[in-house]
Amino acid sequence: MYGLGIIRGLGVTLKHFVESYIEDIRWFGRKYTRSDILPVRQGPKGKGIFTVQYPEERLPIPEQFRFIPFLLYEDETKQIRCTSCGICAKVCPPQCIWIVRGTDPRTGRPKPEPEEFYIDVDICMNCGFCAEFCPFDAIKMDHDFELATYDRTTTNIFDLQRLLKPVSYYASIRPTDYAREEAARAEKEGAKAKRPAAEPAAAPAAAPAQAAPAATTPPPSAGTPTGRGLSPEEIARRKAEMEARRRAREAARRAGEGGGEQA
């Protein structure tokens, strides 16, 4: 009979339509009020209404979800984990990471801490390579995806202050990754601690290397820690430094352009 196929098809639509009511009665309204029901609504057994009313309702973010990197610092010591080794900047496919390697003002030698760290989030493609290949677990991918701004030209280059987040935040968004990395770190530390006993000759060489990062740690400030974990004085100092550097750079650029025009 002509039209039977259409009727069969409409039967499927009808099934979906009726199912949404049956499901609503079954869950008795709780389906739209309880947040823990979302995996049921959008799960492999989900039936009926499938959609989630973002932003009022939010689906749980899986641990592996990645969006825009951030830098880690230790909660207690405020020590930035990054050593400015530059692997993230080298592996970054769109080359959106800029790092100024830190130098010790007294000796002029490189020190294991970034002076400046920029990520152009307009360019970042959220691939996660920086987090994957960082040997110090210092850069990780975030879960915060709500980054809309009104002006992309001024706000979307994240500097060190904007990028820093405490390790405790990282532990809260990626608990299993964090636990695994901490276990590996503890194991490594354990091996290091054991080694001097076994090989006394290697001990003097290892000791300064271990001491070096500790020496460069900024002393825990007495001021109130802010959300980023640095004291306001420290932030003000760094901001002033960065501003001065930016001005110098711009002046140099202008001078360079002017020279170019004359030539």
Partner 1 sequence: MTIAPEVPHTVITDPAQVQAVLAEKFPGAITPDTRPGYSGFIVSSDKLVEVATTLRDELGYTYLSSVTGVDYIHDGFMEVVYHAYRIEGGPAVVFKARCPRDNAVLPSLVPVWPGADFQEREAWDLLGIRFAGHPNLRRILLWEGFHGHPLRKDWKEAYYEQEGKPFDSRWPEGHVFRAEEKTPFGDNVAYPPDWMPPDDLDRLTQVSAYGGVYDAVLQTVDEDTRGLKTDHIVVNLGPQHPSTHGVFRVVVTLSGETIVDLQPVMGYLHRNHEKIGERNTFIMNIPYTDRLDYICSMSNNLGYVLAVEKLMGIKPPERAEYIRVLMVELTRIVNHLWAIGFLLNDLGAFFTPALYAIEERELILDVFEATAGSRMMCNYMRFGGVARDLPAGVYERCRELAFERLPRAIDELDNYLTHNEIILSRCKGVGYLPPEMAIAYSAAGPVLRASGVPYDVRRAEPYSIYDRFDFDVAVRYNGDVYDRYLIRVDEMRQSVRILQQVLDQMPKSGEIIAGKPQYQVRVPPGEAYGRVENPKGELGFYVVSNGKPNPWRYHIRAPSFINLTAMSEMCKGHKVADVVVILGSIDIVLGETDR
Residues lying near partner 1 in the complex (CB under 8 A) are found at 2-6, 8-9, 12-13, 16, 42-45, 50, 62-66, 84, 86-87, 89-93, 95, 97-101, 110, 116, 118, 120, 122, 125-129, 132-133, 141, 153, 157, 176, 249
**What residue type is assigned to position 246 of the chain?**
R
Residue 174's nearest CA partner among 92, 102, 70 is 70
Token output for 93: 């496919």
| Of residues 32 and 98, the one with the C-beta less far from partner 1 | 98
| Of residues 74 and 127, the one with the C-beta less far from partner 1 | 127
Output the smallest distance, CB 204 to partner 1, in A: 29
Output the smallest distance, CB 15 to partner 1, in A: 8
Q: What is the Cα–Cα distance from 80 to 218, expressed in whole angstroms?
A: 10
Please list, in sequence order, all residues whose beta carbon lies within 8 angstroms of the beta carbon of residue 113, skipping any fewer than 6 positions away: 80, 82, 83, 84, 102, 216
Token output for 218: 């900024």
Output the smallest distance, CB 253 to partner 1, in A: 9
Output the smallest distance, CB 106 to partner 1, in A: 19
Q: What is the Cα–Cα distance from 158 to 97, expressed in whole angstroms?
A: 10
Q: What is the Cα–Cα distance from 203 to 192, expressed in whole angstroms?
A: 10
Output the smallest distance, CB 86 to partner 1, in A: 4
Output the smallest distance, CB 87 to partner 1, in A: 6
Output the smallest distance, CB 224 to partner 1, in A: 30
Residue 91's nearest CA partner among 132, 122, 119, 121 is 132
Q: What is the Cα–Cα distance from 160 to 248, expressed in whole angstroms?
A: 19
Token output for 104: 């010790």
| Of residues 27 and 98, the one with the C-beta less far from partner 1 | 98
| Of residues 27 and 65, the one with the C-beta less far from partner 1 | 65
Residue 121's nearest CA partner among 112, 130, 113 is 130
| Of residues 11 and 232, the one with the C-beta less far from partner 1 | 11
| Of residues 185 and 194, the one with the C-beta less far from partner 1 | 185
Token output for 130: 């920086």
| Of residues 21 and 133, the one with the C-beta less far from partner 1 | 133
Q: What is the Cα–Cα distance from 178 to 187, expressed in whole angstroms?
A: 14
Output the smallest distance, CB 173 to partner 1, in A: 12
Radius of gyration of the chain (CA): 26
| Of residues 100 and 235, the one with the C-beta less far from partner 1 | 100
Distance of alpha carbon 71 from its chain centroid, rounded? 6
